[in-house]
Amino acid sequence: MSRYVMGIDNGSQSTKVAIYDLEGNEVAFGFYSLKETLSPQPGVVIHPDDDLWDSVYGAIKNCLANFTGNPKEIAGVGLCTIRCCRVLLKEDGHLAYPVISWMDSRLNKPYVHTDDQVKYVTTTSGYLGFRLTGEFKDTASNYEVHWPLDLETLDWSQDDEVFKANGLKREMVFDLVKPGEKLGSLKQELALAYGLNQDIPVVATANDKAVEALGSGIKDEGTIMISLGTFISSMLLRNKYKENAINFFPTLACIPFKYVYESNGIRRGMWTVSWFKKLIGAELVTEAGKQGVSEEEYLNSKAQDVPVGSDGLITILDWLSTPSIPYRKGVMIGFDQRHTKYHIYRSILEAIAFNIKNNIDDMLDEIDVRLNDVVVIGGGSKSDVIMQIIADLFGLPVHRREGSSSACLGAAICVCQHLSIYKDFYEATSKMVKTQQTFLPNSKNHVLYNKINDTVVKNVRFHTDEILKLTYPIFN
């Protein structure tokens, strides 16, 4: 009898792959870093070569190399990929153009057909699913903006005019399945290369944030998930789609016909931490090496020594502005002789917390919801410092889940749904998602953080926007 399931989490910076037993315990993990995206001209952001597929192939290999069990006992593979990308394919299913990143300004508009070698327009999950199975199928729950999807059926619209408005024809898109349904069987040559069964199913999930929400275990009205990744946002699980939302985006959940309400996010969120690490450079590597810890662990140990509020150093995280407000840039204010590189680091972490808290508050006010607790996932959740900052700012318990990737676990839960291992998604989540640690708020810090937020952070942009409007035409 099969004892394991595999989940793939293809992200913006790396692909992660994990193998779980049927109780959700992670038994093997591997990853493969992506190359830096390319920006050959302003507004254009693409993935080089066939980087996404290379990373998936390599991450599966690396995960299996760390797996001590029998690969033949892996019962299925769940596929989760970066959302909001656009992939243009030739008739044979291979790339006609590099994968267009979610950061590319062209994705703010419907597809425009300019290249006759493009026969299919799909998502990353459609493309990577094809590379794994050879099938032209994709998950319905990774299509929303500028796609002719019918939310009532989770299938393509029957109206040709809807297709036309999105720049597409029916023959240009893949067939759709729902989360927990089969995309196809793993290609024979891949099954042989990986040592897996030749009939192993590859199972559909949803957009990556929704898969993270499933793998984080949120299911109560008063629990919110914060995902600390390259794009930082938060999600609430809901039963109904909300039309004309102002302060959040209702998106398809990883449970068919359910929805997650996603707050406004932070573009290049935890990427900002990577940016800062590169600024420190060799010194950081050397000092971390002396102590035998990772660079992140070293920075976090130093940040814990910095006072709450970073001695007045305030960071505003506009490292990647939106097309509607192109003049906004990252800002740090309040420097004096007390401040060190570690103040800058802690200030960045506090800025992430302030920004997402204010975005969440806007969403909660609109739908009249109060929170009881917070689940934080993603690479950033490994930092005790930022977990405590979030607990102090929100004044609520903050939970860190077990495992290397909530998206990998969410993908594995979809496999369990397909295989009918549990009654439904909810039972699978209850059995497979586990809490590693809970951070409780410090009431004194809660008061100070909210004073900083209400009096300073929420008002900074009223002043800096006017200055940045003047600098923008000079430097852009």
68-108: pLDDT as tens digits: 999 999 999 999 999 999 999 999 999 999 999 998 999 99
pLDDT recorded at residue 220: 80
Please state which of the ranges 27-41, 282-296, 331-345, 409-423 shows the lowest mean pLDDT.
Answer: 282-296
With beta carbons less than 8 A apart as the criterion, state whether 357 and 232 touch. Answer: no
Cβ neighbours of residue 299 under 8 Å, at least 6 residues apart? 277, 284, 342, 345
Question: Mean pLDDT over residues 451-464, rounded?
Answer: 96
Q: How confident is the model at residue 2 (pLDDT cuts 50, 70, 90)?
A: low
Question: Mean pLDDT over residues 225-240, rounded?
Answer: 90
Mean pLDDT of the chain: 95
Q: Examine the pLDDT at 243 and tell me if it is beyond 70.
A: yes
pLDDT tens readout for residues 219-229: 888 899 999 98
pLDDT tens readout for residues 30-82: 999 999 999 999 899 999 999 999 999 999 999 999 999 999 999 999 999 99
pLDDT recorded at residue 67: 98
Q: Examine the pLDDT at 4 and tell me if it is beyond 60.
A: yes
Q: Which helix (H) or strand (E) holds 4?
A: strand 4-10
Question: Mean pLDDT over residues 135-144, rounded?
Answer: 96
Distances (CA, A) of 427 to 252, 296, 405, 422, 440: 20, 35, 20, 6, 27
Number of H helices, E strands in the chain: 14, 21
Question: Mean pLDDT over residues 264-286, rounded?
Answer: 87
Dihedral sign of CA atoms 17, 404, 408, 142 in order: negative
pLDDT tens readout for residues 310-329: 999 999 999 888 888 999 99
Gap between the Cα atoms of 92 and 381, Å rounded: 41
| Phi, psi torsion values for 102, nearest 5 degrees | -65, -20
State which amino acid sits at residue 298: Y
Q: Examine the pLDDT at 1 and tell me if it is beyond 80.
A: no
